[in-house]
């Protein structure tokens, strides 16, 4: 049988898009091989010249310009969109779940005691608008004050970073401190950190910053290194390829959205702080975060803070809205979830890495928290896993 020809109109210039390509490659290697046509291009680039006379079987595209939209429509072949722009609404599309991105980012900052939150976005992009809307909702539910900066995209006509930097500096100066800021993506996070350095604002003590996409090279080049929400780009690309394969085999596919749950957050120095005006509770939180997976108990926490158990429980509940034991459990279960999702480690190995005496005890504790066994969680990467994560990490 002749191989199907598939065009990938996905830029190769950023980590998110390269992650999509990795997922597409993984799918087609596990199934029938395709003849892949791909052009090295930047985001927003015009369609490659060869596409005009190309005769293929399917397309996976980041449709973010009218030119790309027109080009794929002219082809009139099975196409999957992997962009949030939704420029061709008749096509099925696969994208990161922006609501979950906002929830993870908000929880990360709220769990560290920030009552002042902020969002720094580029409303020209749908995904930035969705992240902003959901972030504001989660902030309001936690009774946090939230401020918003709506920046101009560098892709907009007449954009000047000099003017934009002045606007951003004025906004950061006016924010109440300490404040936790979520940047709509890592590049905006880098800009924020540069502005804070220019203003001599302490990061993360006065301003904590979280980006999105976990572009590891960019995040590590930031000063200080940037924390970032980790989208599951590999799975997003894989699911897009699976969807296209079904379409090329004649399966009827609607223009529904397939939203992929993010993996979690990579915590780096830009947000590794506790904005709690209680040095003993801040110290207890830091100790728990660093040692929860070593099997510690509340008794171990009491060894590092000069408080009675009753006083620790009272002040912890008041400031963190959880007991010390619940925080230990939350951190451990968060780590268990990540290891189940991201590795092939056995339950015995995961138990050892997360402070459980044996796998049976881990299974009982996990099911009590989530309503699912670890094996069920690992197997089911869709709605039920998302529901379990909400249960595990809820206040």
Label residue 386 by pLDDT band (50, 70, 90).
very low
The string over 36-49, giving b where at least 16 C-beta atoms fall within 10 Å of a residue's C-beta and e elsewhere, is bbebebebebebbe
What is the predicted pLDDT for the residue at 241?
96
Rounded Cα gap, residues 224 and 245, in angstroms: 43
| Beta pairing partners, 38 | 8
**Of 224, 234, 238, 231, the residue nearest 270 (C-alpha):** 224
Average pLDDT over the chain reads: 90
- Residue 67 to residues 31, 48, 49, 236, 383, Cα–Cα distance (Å): 31, 10, 12, 24, 35
Confidence grade of residue 1 (pLDDT, cut at 50, 70, 90): low
Q: Where are the beta strands (DSSP E) in the chain?
A: 5-9, 35-38, 58-61, 79-81, 93-96, 116-121, 145-150, 179-183, 207-212, 227-230, 257-260, 264-266
Distance in angstroms (rounded) separating the CA atoms of residues 354 and 37? 44
Positive or negative torsion for Cα 307, 302, 298, 115: positive
Domains of the chain: 5-95+233-263 (3.40.50.2300), 98-231+265-271 (3.40.50.2300), 279-393 (1.10.10.60)
- Residues 24, 8 contacting (CB under 8 angstroms): yes
* 61, 81 contact by CB (below 8 A): yes
Residue of 259, 295, 348, 276 lying closest to 286 (CA atoms): 276
Burial of 283 (0-12, 13-18, 19+ CB in 10 A): middle
- Which residues sit opposite 179 in a β-bridge? 207
| pTM for the structure as a whole | 0.78
| Cis before 253? omega within 30 | no
The whole-angstrom separation of Cα 187 and Cα 15 is: 11
Among the residue ranges 160-174, 235-249, 283-297, the one predicted with the least confidence is 283-297
* 129 vs 158, higher pLDDT: 129
Q: Is the pLDDT of residue 382 over 50?
A: no
With 60 as the cut, is the pLDDT of residue 395 above it? Answer: no
Listed residue (3, 28, 25, 27) closest to 12, CA to CA:
25
Within a 13 Å sphere around the CA of 144, how many CA atoms are in the beta-carbon half?
Answer: 28
Cis peptide before 334 (omega within 30 of 0): no
**C-alpha to C-alpha distance for 78 and 10, rounded to whole angstroms:** 16
CA 336 to CA 98: how far, in whole Å? Answer: 23
Residues 29-42 have pLDDT tens digits of: 888 789 999 877 77
């Amino acid at each position: 049988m002749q191989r199907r020809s598939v065009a990938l109109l996905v830029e190769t210039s950023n980590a998110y898009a390269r992650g999509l390509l990795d997922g597409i490659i993984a799918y087609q290697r596990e199934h029938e091989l395709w003849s892949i046509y791909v052009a090295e291009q930047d985001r927003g680039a015009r369609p490659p010249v060869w596409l005009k006379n190309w005769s293929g079987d399917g397309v996976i595209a980041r449709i973010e310009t009218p030119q790309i939209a027109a080009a794929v429509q002219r082809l009139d072949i099975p196409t999957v969109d992997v962009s949030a722009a939704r420029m061709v609404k008749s096509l099925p599309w696969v994208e990161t779940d922006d609501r979950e991105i906002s929830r993870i980012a908000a929880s990360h900052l709220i769990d560290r005691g920030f009552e002042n939150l902020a969002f720094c976005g580029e409303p020209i992009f749908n995904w930035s608008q969705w992240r902003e809307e959901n972030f504001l909702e989660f902030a309001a539910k936690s009774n946090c004050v939230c401020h918003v900066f709506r920046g101009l995209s560098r892709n907009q006509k007449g954009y000047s970073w000099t003017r934009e930097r002045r606007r951003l500096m004025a906004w950061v100066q006016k924010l109440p401190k300490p404040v936790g800021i979520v940047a709509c993506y890592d590049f905006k996070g880098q800009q924020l950190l540069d502005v804070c350095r220019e203003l001599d604002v302490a990061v993360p003590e006065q301003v904590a910053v979280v980006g999105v996409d976990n572009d590891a090279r960019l995040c590590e080049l930031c000063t200080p290194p940037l924390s970032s929400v980790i989208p599951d780009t590999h799975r997003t690309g894989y699911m897009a390829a699976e969807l296209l394969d079904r379409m090329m085999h004649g399966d009827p596919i609607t223009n529904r959205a397939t939203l992929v749950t993010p993996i979690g957050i990579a915590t780096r120095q830009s947000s590794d702080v506790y904005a709690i005006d209680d040095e003993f509770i801040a110290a207890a939180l830091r100790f728990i975060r660093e040692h929860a997976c070593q099997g510690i108990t509340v008794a171990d926490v009491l060894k590092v803070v000069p408080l009675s158990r009753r006083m620790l429980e009272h002040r912890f509940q008041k400031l963190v809205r959880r007991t010390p034991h619940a925080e230990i459990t939350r951190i451990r279960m968060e780590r268990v979830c990540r290891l189940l999702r991201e590795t092939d480690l056995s339950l015995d190995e995961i138990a050892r890495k997360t402070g459980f005496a044996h796998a049976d005890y881990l299974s009982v504790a996990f099911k009590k928290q989530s309503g699912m066994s670890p094996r069920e969680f690992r197997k089911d990467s869709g709605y039920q896993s998302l529901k379990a994560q909400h249960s595990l990490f809820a206040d």
